[in-house]
Chains A and B, each alone.
Chain A
Amino acid sequence: MTLPTEADQYRDPEGVPTLPSSEAELGLDSGFAPEPQSQWKLFRRRFFRHRIAMVALAGLILITIACFSVSWLSPFDPNKQDLLAQPVGPSSAHWLGTDELGRDQLARILKSGQLSLKIGFSVAFLSVALGTAIGAVAGFFGRWADQSLMRLTDLFLVVPELAILAVALHYWGSKDVVIIAVLTALFWMPVARVVRGQVLSIREKEFVEAARAAGASPWRIIVRHIVPNIIGPIMVNMTLAVTAAIITESTLSFLGFGVQPPQSSWGKMLSDAEGYVGTPKAYLIYGPGIAIVLTVLCVNFIGDGLRDAFDPQSEKH
């Protein structure tokens, strides 16, 4: 009777006796070691069959394209102001209305999306890369490097992130690069933990010994045995990081630490309009708010699809 290894993936296996990994389920013991290529094919097929994830993926691509091509798409220049026009609500001329400076709201939302998406995706990708690297090193090189890296992780967990953010923004200005850099530095820890856990548990396995004895290079070991196990939680973490990055950025704007004009993001638009809740100008809030929710929903559904694809356990009944 074995317990699924998903449990392991969320848990620091310090002190946990080794358990069979998904290799067992994949039939590695019995000698059917699937080539990495066909494993990828399997993942791809599974992913593309996940209907909701596909819809979400299409949605996300659509949003991204719309945001980055607003200069060509939109009949309105997102920067053109019209002082004399008081903000109007949604109408046939302006589908989402106009904002405080007379700019078309829809065009504004799409333009701001560029920065929000940029921050979200950059942070997700970079933090995962950083976390994987650190976790792998910690796992592979054992006691000494491991211990010090784990202490480093603890350190990052303990220092209040808002302080680091505020100080960094204070010093280097409220630029998007600074926000990306700091958020990356604050989001890498969970990934590092997961990767480290996997690497540690893999290291002990007999088949690794066997593979080494058979002459397999460490690279092959990593790709074949470690990557498939960690890719699931890593993908999930990436989608969580996108969500967290977009939302944290909006919180930063609310607290006054976010991007400053002329830069604009969904978070900034949302926090600028916070006072309009319950007033006739509430449409200024719902636009960027819904943009954030839609994007995050898409990302999360994609994450669901990814996890289902990489997780050999979850079968559709």
Chain B
Amino acid sequence: MLTYVGRRVLYAIPVVLVASFLLFWLVRTAYDPCVKLRNTREGATAVRRCQENLGLDQPIPVQYGKWLGNALQGDLGTSSRTNEQVADMLPPAMWNTVQLIFFGSVLSITLALFLGVFSAVRQYSVSDYTFTALAFIGIAMPPFFFGLLAQQFLAVGPKDWFHLNQPIFYIVGLHGPGQSGFNLDYLRHLVLPVLTLTVQSIASWSRFQRTSMLDVMSSDYIRTARAKGVPRRSVIWRHGARNALIPFVTVVALDTGALFGGLIITETIFSIPGMGRLFYDSLNTGDANVLVAWMIISAFFIILFNLIADLLYGLLDPRVRLT
């Protein structure tokens, strides 16, 4: 297994490098971080000075080479937007995002698993149709739509209807003023953003789990187990769900990378300064240093999740030997 992991990591490195160069090139070609200075009194002079400072007059491969050289020595450069050190900007943003993704994943995986299995076992029942309809509506709603509806009907609305002093769920940030740590205030801030982030995942993953569960449940060996008199619960969980987990795991792992996409919306609507927001702000101003560093981190996570999926697959399916 170690060789497998090693090989995958090895293959990943050139991919990430090429991807980073691609992104760098794209951003440098399409965005000019100095252009906003044109509007200042100094105008073109300021722009030129800025371009010299950032080395923008040099060919892009040379710029990238410089960046790479510095990065390998641990210097990730300065943000052209805020003049902060890129290395200082990433950890706080990552921390916020990790919280969202972590709780989001936990919630999605648990709910999707249970909902999927439940629906499959009670196929064509009222509850199945209900959950199916809900799942489809969840998939069909653009995340910002859901987020804003959640704000209205789960935060602002209840406060007005029940004449509360404060809303039950908060919609600004992850902590109230002067608050920190894992407490009730934190949880009340966490609910709506995590829900918004995961509604699509829960909906689509539960569908996947239901499908693969259905496939498994109608297969030969399940019928054999039933015929043999294995207790129903055991059939469902031990034999059914476990095998149905296989495609589920793959989909989850691939999709978790996609959670990053929904992050921007959630972080914007709920005012959480995370990686999604950082990416968006940097993109708009052509802040290449931040963008490339950001991409390398996200690539790391995507590759990590893919790897975990493959390893889990190996664990779950004894027939699979990872060569």
Contact = CB atoms under 8 A, between A and B. Distances in A.
A158 B247 contact: no
B30 A297 contact: no
B19 A167 contact: no
B219 A313 contact: yes
Interface in A113-142: none
A238 interface: no
B243 interface: yes
| Interface of chain B: mostly helix, strand, loop or mixed | helix
A271 interface: yes
A158 B140 contact: no
B246 A11 contact: yes
Interface string B237-275: 000000100110011001001001100110000000000
Contacts of B250: 10-11
A182 to B, nearest CB: 12
Interface stretch (A30-38, A57-65, A149-157): A149-157
B142 A267 contact: yes
| Interface of chain A: mostly helix, strand, loop or mixed | helix
Nearest to B319: A17
A39 B149 CA distance: 46
A314 interface: yes
A2 B264 contact: no
A230 to B, nearest CB: 15
Interface in A161-205: 161-164, 166-167, 170-171, 190
B247 A7 contact: yes
Contacts of B114: none
A254 interface: yes
Interface string B51-66: 0000000000000000
Interface in A283-317: 285, 289, 292-293, 295-297, 300-301, 307, 311, 313-317
Contacts of B142: 247, 250-251, 254, 267, 270, 289, 292
Interface in A239-253: 240, 243, 247, 250-251
Interface residues of A, number: 59
A209 B279 CA distance: 52
Interface string B283-302: 10000000100110011001
B33 to A, nearest CB: 14
Contact of A243 (B12, B124, B140): B140
Nearest to B142: A250
Interface string B14-26: 1110110011001
21 contacts: A9-B247, A10-B251, A11-B247, A14-B323, A15-B321, A16-B319, A16-B320, A154-B12, A154-B15, A155-B19, A160-B260, A163-B279, A167-B31, A270-B145, A278-B152, A289-B141, A296-B136, A296-B139, A300-B139, A316-B124, A317-B123
Interface of B: 11-12, 14-16, 18-19, 22-23, 26-27, 29-31, 123-124, 136-137, 139-145, 148-149, 151-152, 156-157, 204, 211-212, 214-216, 218-221, 224, 243, 246-247, 250-251, 254, 257, 260-261, 264-265, 279-280, 283, 291, 294-295, 298-299, 302-303, 306, 310, 313, 317, 319-323
Interface of A: 1-4, 6-7, 9-12, 14-17, 151, 154-155, 157-164, 166-167, 170-171, 190, 240, 243, 247, 250-251, 254-255, 267, 270-271, 274, 277-278, 285, 289, 292-293, 295-297, 300-301, 307, 311, 313-317
